[in-house]
Amino acid sequence: MQTVEHETFAKPSEVRTFTHGKAEILEVGDSTIGRLILEPGWRWSNDVGPIAGTESCLAPHFQYHVQGRLAIRMDDGTEFIAGPGDVTSLPEGHDAWVVGDEPVIVVDWFGSTNWAKEGAHAETASA
């Protein structure tokens, strides 16, 4: 049964930092929601890949893009740029990087459980 909860990214449950960014994590009910703040120069394969221990991101995502431009390249070669107001659904197997000089802010409704978490070497579909 769903209960009333009120959480805020001003006081996240956890903050995971990495080169060129951070992931602010909220635990709300049975859900984990992440706000990813990615600075210019951030690239998943360079800044989070070594934490995950995988060649591409294996966490599927369902994201709302708040600010900045994020290039995404799927392992199958599909590539696009997401910007403010966009919603992306990404299966496992992708890389991403900040485009331009503006930080990227993304709210990740699915995929933040183990994303950029030290010791979680396999970002899996349960992420």
d(C-alpha 125, C-alpha 122), whole Å: 9
Could you give the maximum distance between any two Cα atoms of the chain, in Å? Answer: 44
Question: Predicted confidence band at 52 (pLDDT cuts at 50, 70, 90)?
Answer: confident
Half-sphere exposure of 55 (CA within 13 A, CB side): 2
Question: What is the per-residue pLDDT for 85?
Answer: 98
The pLDDT tens digits of the residues spanning 67-80 come to 999 999 999 999 99
The pLDDT tens digits of the residues spanning 77-126 come to 999 999 999 999 999 999 999 999 999 999 999 877 666 655 444 343 33
Question: What is the per-residue pLDDT for 116?
Answer: 61
Question: What is the per-residue pLDDT for 114?
Answer: 62
On whether the CB atoms of residues 65 and 84 are closer than 8 A, the answer is yes
CA torsion, ordered 24, 31, 126, 1, to nearest 10 deg: 170
Spatial neighbors of 112 by CB under 8 A, at least 6 apart, are 23, 25, 32, 33, 34, 36, 59, 127
Model pTM score: 0.86
